[in-house]
Chains A and B, each alone.
Chain A
Amino acid sequence: MADLEVQTDPSTRSVGDPLVVLEHVDKHFGELHVLQDVNLTVHRGEVVVVIGPSGSGKSTLCRTINRLETIDSGTITIDGTPLPEEGRALARLRADVGMVFQSFNLFAHRSVLDNVTLGPRKVKGASRSQAREQATALLERVGVANQADKLPAQLSGGQQQRVAIARALAMDPQVMLFDEPTSALDPEMINEVLDVMVSLAEQGMTMIVVTHEMGFARRAAHRVVFMDGGQIVEEADPETFFTAPRSARARDFLSKILTH
């Protein structure tokens, strides 16, 4: 166990150049100012956990990074390139940004294997056998290779989410977005998903993770970003954030989720 902690200690993993950069990002949902002048830089190889009360804008923030949500003003760049507005350029960018959803969103009419091979085949032009080989390896890596021929509905939530991670990884993304990946899971399945995410972090994947799993943040994150009311209120390394939050809002939020 001690060995594992040494391995996973984020401070031993180095981070590189800025990869995802948000500058002065604003977004409204009608009257609601859901993102207010958000500035965030995520470096290559960095794992950033976004935490905050519901309605704080953290999921919206995550979804703006592959433009599933548009923004009203400000800029978002990935590897120095601004997000394209639409069309093929946007599709190409999305292929580079993996996304894992709260509700898994596996393609319900396709087998587990097809879910993972669809992107490489239809977007990257991989051959069927090539895509199949890669998908089998990925399913092996997330521990569901024996479920390859089943339909998503035949799998448990934890298995479905691990397939969803494999589906995103199949595109060889530069960065992975996780939008509350364990919030829809039964408690006994949360760890199997978090374990996959931790090992991904260990392998140097750049990750932006919206989650309330403080255990994951402590094990794998370089940085915790605390959001409230559409703003980034506080940023710190996990230990500092959880033990000595600077802002009153963060202290208030932590007191509510730490009491149990």
Chain B
Amino acid sequence: MHSGYLDDLGTVLGQYDVLAAFWVNIQLTVYAGIIALVLGTLLALMRISPVPSLRWAGSTYVTLLRNTPLTIIIVFFVLGMWGQLGFTLGPDFPTNFFRLSVLGLAVYHAAFVCEAIRSGVNTVPRGQAEAARAIGLGFWPTARLVILPQAFRGAVAPLGNVLIALIKNSTVAAAGSVAEASGLMREMIENSSSVILGIFLVFALGFVVIVVPVGLATTALSRRWAVAR
């Protein structure tokens, strides 16, 4: 790559707000991540509960959502829920599309959060629940006070993997007309085809910069929070 290429790339990058586009991905990730964590925890509780119908509902949800492509879920929320059914979550188009995409990302990743937490629950020995029941705690207090705190600690690494997938999958919101990084990349490539590789590398590097610290942090946390037995 001669210096002319870098100059051209610099000019192209100067014409767009790349950082703002990445910021949208981060926002999509944070909002969807929080909703997915709550929903996924509820699903995991349903799947370990003593009530058969709750267990059935939880596992059906996971099976359905986990096996549907994310693009289809996002398109369903944005075009199906809004376009066909008139379901709106915001006053203007960008806000509406953003929120519907957050919802799509959240319901999809909740299925993976559920399975990550369930794998965490499996790290908690059976005797912990028995001891909790033996002192008179019911199912929910046992789950809340004894099982889940240990399960989350055992699930930090798999939850980190879900978060990493979510960060990268936030680009699928482009299918829901959200102006995020991958959509901007496509636009820049279409307008400046002479520096395609450079544009691609900048965006790839952007995601690496976001994702690598998350992976390092969850690995460190999973070690620090490991429950000593």
Q: Which residues of A contact B (CB under 8 A)?
A: 66, 68, 86-88, 91-99, 101, 103-109, 118-119, 122-123, 151, 153-154, 164, 167-168, 170-171
Contacts and interface: CB of A to CB of B under 8 A. Distances in A.
Lowest 10 CB-CB distances: which A-B pairs, in order? A95-B136, A153-B228, A119-B135, A105-B127, A105-B131, A99-B134, A123-B136, A94-B136, A91-B138, A108-B227
Contact of B134 (A68, A87, A104, A153): A68
Given A88-B138, A105-B130, A122 B229 contact: no
A103 B126 CA distance: 11
A119 B130 contact: no
Contacts of B229: 108, 153
B150 to A, nearest CB: 5
A86 B138 CA distance: 9
Q: Which of A86, A106, A109, A171 has the most CB of B within 10 A?
A: A109
Contacts of A103: 125, 127
Interface in B124-147: 125, 127-128, 130-138, 141, 145-146
Interface in B170-195: none
B149 interface: yes
A102 B133 CA distance: 16
6 contacts: A66-B134, A87-B138, A103-B127, A109-B149, A119-B136, A123-B136
A134 B150 CA distance: 26
Interface residues of B, number: 22
Interface of chain B, main secondary structure: helix
A68 B135 CA distance: 12
Contacts of A101: 127, 130-131, 134
A198 to B, nearest CB: 22
A94 B228 contact: no
Given A122-B145, A151-B228, A153-B229, A106 B131 contact: yes
A94 B131 contact: no
A123 B137 contact: yes
B135 A167 contact: yes
A109 B229 CA distance: 9
Nearest to A164: B131
B153 interface: yes
A225 B153 CA distance: 43
Nearest to B152: A109
A159 to B, nearest CB: 15
B92 to A, nearest CB: 46
B145 A118 contact: yes
A243 B229 CA distance: 41
A154 B227 CA distance: 12
Nearest to A167: B135
Instruction: Give the residue among A87, A107, A119 with the most B Cβ atoms within 10 A.
Output: A107
B136 A108 contact: no
A94 to B, nearest CB: 5
A98 B131 CA distance: 10
A171 B150 contact: no
Given A101-B131, A153-B229, A108 B150 contact: yes
Contacts of A92: 136
A123 B133 CA distance: 11
B145 A94 contact: no
Contacts of B145: 118, 122
A132 B153 CA distance: 26
A188 to B, nearest CB: 22
A101 B132 CA distance: 12
